Chain A
């Protein structure tokens, strides 16, 4: 479960990115975060995996109290969260399988478990036959699926995605969205910032709209609601 109570974020340069956000997301929900560019969507997401620290307010996520979380405990919060970005963030010199394995190696998982788990998640994203290919040998959609597989490797309770289809063509975007849907069907909470009106309006989910750092709309099975 994710809960924010009156959360504010001011960047060191004085930018007011979030101005009093309160929200509660239950386990197993699928939530879109929409809003114009610069509204504060990415900041909202960064607060969840403690990339940024709120200036004020309380945040609880997967049982962690972000306010009280010591810096050296941040890794343990992040092990319960999978993150996916617009630019995939794959390591170019590692194969698909190695990219996924990397995420497990660096948290000290046993090698035998890593081999088994890498195969599992790559099958889950439908890339078991391309597991030994390098990122440059894969299409954008395939690369993003590797990134999703990596985010799933450690069985996270929540997957958060910041514009995961932002770099993909419409058809590939739908492949990736269907993948997120399947992950959500298995009980993983999904929080996704997106600019993709077609997807939001077709694959209907809860929509939280942020403008100028405040939530202006929060609807079950909502619409995208902007014209861009």
Chain B
């Protein structure tokens, strides 16, 4: 127990004594973990979004404006006959109009009243059994005679989540580079400490301190830098995400995709970032004592 207190005390001394170098290493860890944390937040949200998108994936086929209700029923029959179709729902011209009026609200719906005839085509909503088959199915439906257009209402959403996924992947690549940079800077700092303390190390060896007793303060020095370097980005990201969540009222900007709840993200984020920080610091310490302490 006294032994571990001593290691931690010496580790703290090392960090303080190395002022500027510790600060540089610390900054690198903060940047690394901030980028990692940001990527994680994106990942959590992209995951939830992709779950909800695949859960309700469907597309709509529109017939020519002058197609009759009977023709609509015929096309629907043909679609039902295609392999991999889960359900088909016909929305008549009338139903479509009512729906649109509801969506536009009282004032704007007056505009629709200006039309003598219902301007909306018959709409057929198709839901595939397997969401991954949606593109193939949409293409087959578009080739059925009488179908004027096919539209995937989630195209926009899925393209946004694909973009987010790319941003996340770039973030992860950055993180790998940054982790290496951080470890290098931590390692340099510890190397400096080892140099400063070479006389103490020499005497420790002479009087019979064990190798691990000599190593620990340096490894702990790395872990302290890693710990402080993780707590700061955790605090910033949690604060940032909470504000975003409150501002966006829990919804991803108008897309009707719910954001992952702040409270749900916070714990995961903190655990992952602090563990990463400690590991980066510890590993930086371990490689350094292995290379430069020769005990």
Contact = CB atoms under 8 A, between A and B. Distances in A.
B200 A79 contact: no
Contacts of A72: 210-211
B105 to A, nearest CB: 78
A72 B2 CA distance: 22
Contacts of A89: 199, 202-203, 206
Contacts of B207: 78-79, 103, 106-107, 150, 153-154
A105 B6 contact: yes
Contact of B208 (A79, A102, A110, A111): A79
B6 A91 contact: no
Contacts of B211: 71-72, 75
A153 B213 CA distance: 19
A110 B3 CA distance: 9
Interface in A85-122: 89, 91, 102-103, 105-108, 110-111
A76 interface: yes
A83 interface: yes
A49 B205 CA distance: 10
B204 A106 contact: yes
Nearest to A79: B208
Interface string A129-160: 00000000000000000000010011000000
B213 A83 contact: no
B128 to A, nearest CB: 64
Nearest to A110: B2
B206 A83 contact: yes
Nearest to B6: A105
Interface in B88-131: none
Interface string B203-244: 111111111011000000000000000000000000000000
A78 B199 contact: no
Contacts, number: 49
Contacts of B199: 89, 91
B193 to A, nearest CB: 15
> Which of B2, B202, B203, B205 neighbours the largest number of chain A CB atoms within 10 Å of its CB?
B203
A72 B205 CA distance: 11
A157 B166 CA distance: 68
A145 B207 CA distance: 16
Contacts of B214: 106
Given A76-B208, A154-B208, A108 B203 contact: no
Interface in A35-79: 49, 71-72, 74-79
B202 A107 contact: no
A157 to B, nearest CB: 13
Interface in B1-17: 2-3, 6
Contact of B213 (A49, A103, A106, A110): A106
Residue among A106, A107, A110 with the highest chain B CB neighbour number at 10 A: A106
A49 B206 contact: yes
Nearest to A89: B203
B209 A75 contact: yes
A71 B295 CA distance: 8
Given A72-B211, A91-B200, A78 B206 contact: yes
B7 to A, nearest CB: 11
A158 B6 CA distance: 29
A49 B202 CA distance: 13
A110 B203 CA distance: 19
A78 B202 CA distance: 13
Given A89-B202, A91-B200, A91-B203, A106 B2 contact: no
A78 B208 contact: yes
A199 to B, nearest CB: 24
Q: Which of B203, B207, B209 has the most CB of A within 10 A?
A: B207
A106 B216 CA distance: 12
B238 to A, nearest CB: 40
A108 B206 contact: no
A105 B200 CA distance: 12
Contacts of B206: 49, 78, 83, 89
A150 B208 CA distance: 12
A106 B6 CA distance: 9
B1 to A, nearest CB: 10
A72 B206 CA distance: 13
27 contacts: A49-B206, A71-B211, A72-B210, A72-B211, A75-B205, A75-B209, A75-B211, A76-B208, A78-B208, A89-B199, A89-B202, A89-B206, A91-B199, A102-B203, A103-B207, A105-B6, A106-B209, A106-B214, A107-B208, A107-B209, A107-B210, A108-B3, A108-B213, A110-B2, A153-B207, A154-B207, A154-B208
Given A75-B209, A77-B208, A107-B209, 6 more contacts: A74-B208, A91-B200, A105-B6, A106-B209, A107-B213, A111-B2
Interchain residue pairs A-B with the least CB separation, the first 5:
A78-B208, A79-B208, A106-B209, A75-B208, A103-B207
